[in-house]
Amino acid sequence: MVLKKVGRVEEATEVSSGIYLLRISCPLKEPYPGQFVMAQPPGLEEIPLSIAGYSGGELKLIVAAVGETTRALCRMDVGDRLWVRGPLGRGFSYMSRKTAVAVAGGVGIAPLIYLVDARKREGLKTKLVAGFKSRVGGKLIQLLEDLGDVVIATEDGSIGAKGDAVSVASSMITRSSMVFACGPEPMLRKVVDLCMSVGAAVECSLERYIKCGVGICGACLIEGEEVSMRVCADGPVFDGETIVKLSDFDKLALDRSGCKVPLHGGCPSR
């Protein structure tokens, strides 16, 4: 059983508008890239966050301030305490190929930062394509460029290559045998389809509403005709062969109350 531990905030820096880098000292079992933690500021909910780095007892998170709990985390000061439970879930098979392409959409960059860094430490090469809607802050760009071989893409072309992450990465994907991805599901669908068409292996980190984080409650179920997966315990990282069997992928998700609702608006299915 993974118990909650007390973490201490060492840094909370806004690296781009509404996106923060948190460094938290907290002794954890060495995580794999792609695993996540449940983080809980005092008096608020426990929420899942991908591990963006872990070294010497220090955890790195990249957090987009989108609601009550993420905003509270991003407002924390050095020395503040929070609960941390993890590492949880199954990560990327990050050592599997000598060269690989990693494709990130928005804050989906978080687990890929850890993946690229871990591969680099093992002498494995990864080309990272980080896509954003528009210009992002200099500190975030610096953080990404420190990883090495990085292409920044923006949909409006305000910095880096113009286009979404998948279009910009497509020629690299077609030449690659291994692709890792994290981001919005329409983006992941494009990545999976492209990889399938060129025979590249692909692993994607998915998001669903997570409660227990350890495979017990069923809140994070993503279903297909023949298989169902718990994102928190069977994932959050799934390979392309599994993803194409999940008919809920890029379509339906369980909400907070357990109702299955469309991911992209429209009428609930029940």
The reply on whether position 213 binds ligand FES by CB under 6 A is yes
Convert 9-46 into a string of H (helix), E (strand) and C (coil).
EEEEEEEECCEEEEEEECCCCCCCCCCEEEEECCCCCC
The least CB distance from residue 249 to ligand FES, in Å, is 16
34 and 92 in contact (C-beta within 8 Å)?
A: yes
Among positions 220-259, residues that touch ligand FES (CB under 6 A) are 220, 230, 232-233
The least CB distance from residue 99 to ligand FAD, in Å, is 25
219 and 195 in contact (C-beta within 8 Å)?
A: no
Nearer to ligand FES among residue 95 and residue 216 (C-beta): 216
Residue 216 binds: one of ligand FES, ligand FAD, none (C-beta under 5 to 8 A by kind): ligand FES
Going by DSSP bridges, is the β-strand pair 260-262/252-254 parallel, antiparallel, or unpaired?
Answer: antiparallel
- For 178, the token pair is 């291994």
The least CB distance from residue 218 to ligand FAD, in Å, is 14
Pure H helices in 59-208: 68-74, 109-121, 138-145, 165-174, 185-198
Going by DSSP bridges, is the β-strand pair 58-64/53-55 parallel, antiparallel, or unpaired?
Answer: antiparallel
Closest CA to 92 of 33, 45, 151, 47: 33
The reply on whether position 217 binds ligand FES by CB under 6 A is yes
The least CB distance from residue 234 to ligand FES, in Å, is 9
Residue 213 binds: one of ligand FAD, ligand FES, none (C-beta under 5 to 8 A by kind): ligand FES
Nearer to ligand FAD among residue 86 and residue 160 (C-beta): 86
Nearer to ligand FES among residue 216 and residue 227 (C-beta): 216
The least CB distance from residue 120 to ligand FES, in Å, is 31
Query: Where does this chain bind ligand FAD (CB under 6 A)?
Result: 36, 45, 47-50, 62-64, 66-70, 107, 110, 207-210, 236
How many degrees, rounded to 5, is the angle at CA 155 between CA 35 and CA 60?
25
The least CB distance from residue 264 to ligand FES, in Å, is 22
Among positions 152-211, residues that touch ligand FES (CB under 6 A) are 210-211
Which H/E stretch holds residue 128? Answer: strand 125-132
Closest CA to 41 of 66, 15, 17, 70: 70
- Whole-angstrom distance, CA of residue 155 vs CA of residue 142: 19
Residue 70 binds: one of ligand FES, ligand FAD, none (C-beta under 5 to 8 A by kind): ligand FAD
The reply on whether position 216 binds ligand FES by CB under 6 A is yes
Residue 219 binds: one of ligand FAD, ligand FES, none (C-beta under 5 to 8 A by kind): ligand FES
The least CB distance from residue 45 to ligand FES, in Å, is 13
The DSSP symbol for 76 reads P
Question: Looking at this protein, which amino acid is placed at residue 152?
Answer: I
Residue 117 binds: one of ligand FES, ligand FAD, none (C-beta under 5 to 8 A by kind): none
Q: Which residues bind ligand FES (CB under 6 A)?
A: 210-213, 215-220, 230, 232-233
